[in-house]
Amino acid sequence: MAKVTQPVTDDSIKVRQLSHYQFTWVAGGPGARGTITLQLVLDEGAWEEVLTVDADDADVLQDLLSETSTVHYDISRRTLMFGVTPVGG
């Protein structure tokens, strides 16, 4: 049996399911570009993460997020994982 460090806490969970997301744009200074962020709400609010993305990434991510029903986020690697395929499926 695998040894699990006790107690299991919110900080010890490394992969969470994306519940909601929100893109934001913050204006830059005069003549400067704005900043696009992507806020991830994970496990119905148990964890949140804010990522800074460029316009091209935001466009691709919006497409993937709107077309994929299940998305997970690996907190320690800061990686979004799209879709779930059953083994042998």
Per-residue model confidence as pLDDT tens digits over 47-76: 999 999 999 999 999 999 999 999 999 999
List Cα–Cα distances, 4 to 10, 60, 68, in angstroms.
Answer: 14, 37, 32
In the predicted model, is pLDDT for residue 24 greater than 90? yes
Query: Where would I find the H helices in the chain?
Result: 55-67
Q: State residue 2's pLDDT score.
A: 74
Q: State residue 3's pLDDT score.
A: 76
Residues found in the chain: 89
Please tell me the pTM assigned to this model: 0.81
Neighbours of 4 (CB within 10 A): 8
Is residue 86 reached through a cis peptide bond, with omega within 30 degrees of 0 on the bond before it? no
**The residue type at 63:** D
Distance CA 26, CA 37 (A): 8
